[in-house]
């Protein structure tokens, strides 16, 4: 078995934790592959280095990410394109997507015996059209349309499967997956959706209406979002999974639907999702 190890070297303790994980994997006779850029940090025997993220993922059976949820989500989207499962080792604050904590490395032995399951998580296909250009993106957590810090509330029109659905005057909109329902959407008052479900969630951000609540759509829904009253002073942007930011112009149109590509997460523990949710949110409060 080959495991590709992707550490987020910007986080404290990641280097030390990654070395611990690699040593555990070595004792299990698992081969380690890493990106060539990691060679200066991990001058260890028996690590095979590849040029580029794609080549490294292609060379493995499982992707192990050492970092927080953002790091895991970033790697997971690339792994999904190569149909490779992802295992997260949490080095972040909450770790909703991570499977293991640093004190649970002994559980890695289950990878060699097949004593694990694969959980599929849906993603969103996002198409951004503006100024005669069209760009496509994948999101595992969410797509967030928001106003600038000094701009007024923005006016957004939303259509559902080709028909006008609603108009929102707000600070923005969050369109999330079930995985992303525990992220920004939850902080904005949205509901929690079980991660294995296939659904889209639209949550307004500080909407100026008594009746603007979150809406849950089926996996067959196709949403289109555009600006209804664009002002040149407006600063409207789109953020995808908190890692890609796009400035939106007057003629923008964003199409969002459930993707055919899904993320595969390695599950080594049989943990009830709602127990995990309660534990993680309790940790966050302390």
Half-sphere exposure of 40 (CA within 13 A, CB side): 2
Structure tokens at 101: 């904590």
**Of 29, 51, 69, 251, catalytic:** 69
> Among this protein's residues, is 125 annotated catalytic?
no
Where are the extended beta strands (E) located within 140-198?
142-147, 154-160, 163-170, 172-176
In angstroms, the CA 136 to CA 126 distance is: 6
Is the distance from CB of 171 to CB of 188 less than 8 angstroms? no
Structure tokens at 266: 């390695």
Instruction: Measure Cα distances from 77 to 214, 218, 233 in Å.
Output: 26, 22, 34
Catalytic machinery residues: 69
């Amino acid at each position: 078995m080959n495991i590709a190890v992707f550490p987020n070297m910007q986080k404290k303790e990641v280097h030390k934790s990654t070395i611990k994980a690699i040593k555990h994997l070595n004792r299990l006779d698992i081969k380690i592959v890493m990106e060539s850029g990691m060679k200066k940090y991990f001058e260890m025997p028996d690590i095979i280095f590849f040029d580029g993220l794609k080549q490294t993922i292609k060379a493995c059976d499982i992707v192990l990410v050492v970092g927080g949820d953002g790091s895991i989500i970033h790697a997971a989207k690339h792994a999904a394109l190569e149909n490779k499962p992802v295992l997260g080792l949490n080095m972040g604050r909450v770790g909703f997507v991570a499977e293991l904590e640093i004190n649970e490395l002994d559980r890695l032995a289950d990878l060699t015996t097949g004593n694990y399951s694969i959980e599929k998580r849906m993603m969103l296909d996002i198409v951004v059209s503006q100024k005669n250009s069209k760009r496509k993106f994948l999101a595992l957590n969410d797509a967030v349309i928001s106003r600038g810090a000094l701009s007024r509330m923005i006016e957004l029109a939303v259509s559902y499967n080709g028909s006008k659905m609603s108009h929102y005057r707000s600070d923005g909109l969050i369109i999330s997956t079930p995985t992303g329902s525990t992220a920004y959407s939850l902080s904005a008052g949205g509901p929690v959706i079980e991660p294995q479900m296939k659904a889209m969630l639209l949550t307004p951000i500080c909407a100026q209406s008594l009746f603007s609540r979150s809406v849950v759509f089926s996996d067959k829904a196709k949403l289109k979002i555009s600006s209804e009253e664009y002002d040149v002073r407006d600063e409207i942007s789109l953020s995808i999974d908190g890692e890609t930011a796009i400035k939106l112009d007057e003629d923008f149109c964003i199409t969002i639907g459930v993707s055919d590509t899904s993320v595969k997460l390695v599950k080594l523990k049989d943990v009830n999702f709602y127990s995990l949710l309660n534990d993680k949110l309790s940790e966050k409060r302390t």
